[in-house]
Homo-oligomer: A and B are copies of this chain.
Amino acid sequence: MGRFNIVERRVARFVQEPPTVRGATAVIVTATFIVVVGAGVLMTVIDNTEFPNIGVGLWWAVQTVTTVGYGDVAPKDVSGRLLGAFVMLEGTAFIAIVTAVITSSFVTRAQTERDAAQRSDDLSDREVMERRFDELERKLDRLAS
């Protein structure tokens, strides 16, 4: 139970304050690893007929968390199916966050390049202004002398 509380609390904190992309990646990979191993082991306890050993449990957990779902092994009683539903939803979060991390890295990269172009535009704008100021000052100086 304690293990799941940790996952849950992590997920809750994640939703409340948007983490850095790096942090989100670490959290979701860790959470998914814990969920796969935890659920794979737990399943052999809950439903030992369908899941006779941890290997079968892990095999089921991996194909559930990636939403592949062959169905060659699947929980048959209520508590196993509740655990299964939890793994499916965590799997959806896993895929969503992995996709989000990669997408945001692509978008950020493109923007960094565009920002550099924009900055050189801004610079040339400022240069034009500076030259106008230089000209004005020179004229004022000539007037003063």
Contact = CB atoms under 8 A, between A and B. Distances in A.
A22 to B, nearest CB: 11
Q: How many copies does the complex hold?
A: 4
B139 A140 contact: yes
The binding surface of chain A is classed by DSSP as helix
Interface in A64-90: 64, 66-72, 74, 76, 78, 81, 84-85, 88-89
A74 B71 CA distance: 9
A70 B67 contact: no
Interface stretch (A2-10, A41-49, A98-106): A98-106
Interface of A: 18, 20-21, 24, 55, 59, 62-64, 66-72, 74, 76, 78, 81, 84-85, 88-89, 91-112, 114-115, 118-119, 121-122, 125-126, 128-130, 132-133, 135-137, 139-144
